[in-house]
Structure 1
Amino acid sequence: MSSGSESVFARYFYPVAFAGVGVATVVITNIVSRRPAISGIQKHIISLGTGAVLGEMFYNRQKRITAERDAVIRHYIQLHPEDFPELEPKKYKEIFEPWLPIR
């Protein structure tokens, strides 16, 4: 499901973020309970894995939703080509505003 033009940051953001939130939750729970922050390492490992799986599921859901939305838009454009005429490429002088230096 991964595309070649996608950055590493965009691909792994949700799994890493969800895993980090899971571990942070366990650490905060330990601190509030007046235990050492790293005690119960099994909880940290389980929350890390659970967070990564949930983040991957969220990432896949987002990809599926955006792919479906893009397919609907592409289909609409194919059915109504008169609403989307081909545009001629603009020249740079049409894009940029004149530059007036202020001194």
Structure 2
Amino acid sequence: MKYSTDIATPLINRYTIIFGIYGMSTSLLHNGMTRRPLWTGLHRHAICLALGSVIGYYAYKFEVNKIAQTEYKNSVYVERHPDLFQPEATQNVANRYMNWVPLR
């Protein structure tokens, strides 16, 4: 059941950046653990950065779809049960509080 197929997700968002950094840092960590210079294998760094960014893009898309599903279900529930969601009567601020009398 898909609800947000029309929502355009940006190509660069916070998840693509964060997961891209995670991907590149795993490649750097691998170089450090195997006692190689950190910047050897730049092609591997680029591939891990790209894979992390792709995973981040789909993670963001998944989050947007989950939020859209929740909003859709909530709006349908509110539409089907209008008696539970009546608008509240407007009140003045003066009517909300009791009169204040100083103690002397």
> Normalising TM by the smaller chain, what interval?
0.7 to 0.9
User: TM-score when scaled to structure 2?
Assistant: 0.76
Match of 2:71 in 1: 70
Identify the structure with the greater helix proportion: 1
> Which residue of the partner structure matches residue 22 of structure 2?
21
Where structure 2 has 5 or more consecutive residues not aligned to the other structure, the ranges are 1-6, 97-104
The share of aligned pairs that are identical, in percent, is 24
1:38 & 1:92 partners in 2: Cα distance?
64
| Greater relative contact order (CA < 8 Å, ≥ 6 in sequence) | 2
Cα distance per residue 1:67-95 (max 9 Å; x no partner): 0110000000000011111124565565x
* SS of match in other structure, 2:13: helix
Radius of gyration: which is bigger? 2
Name the CA shift for 1:85/1:38 in 2 (closer, same or farther; >3 Å).
same
1:63, distance to aligned residue in structure 2 (A): 0.2
Which amino acid letter does the alignment assign opposite residue 34 of structure 2? S
Question: Which residue pairs with 1:54 in the alignment?
Answer: 55
Q: What amino acid is aligned across from residue 55 of structure 1 in structure 2?
A: G
Q: Which runs of 4+ in 1 moved over 3 A?
A: 88-94
Residue 86 of structure 2 aligns to a residue whose secondary structure is: coil
**Count of residues in Structure 1 that have an aligned counterpart in Structure 2:** 90
Q: Secondary structure at the match of 1:87?
A: coil
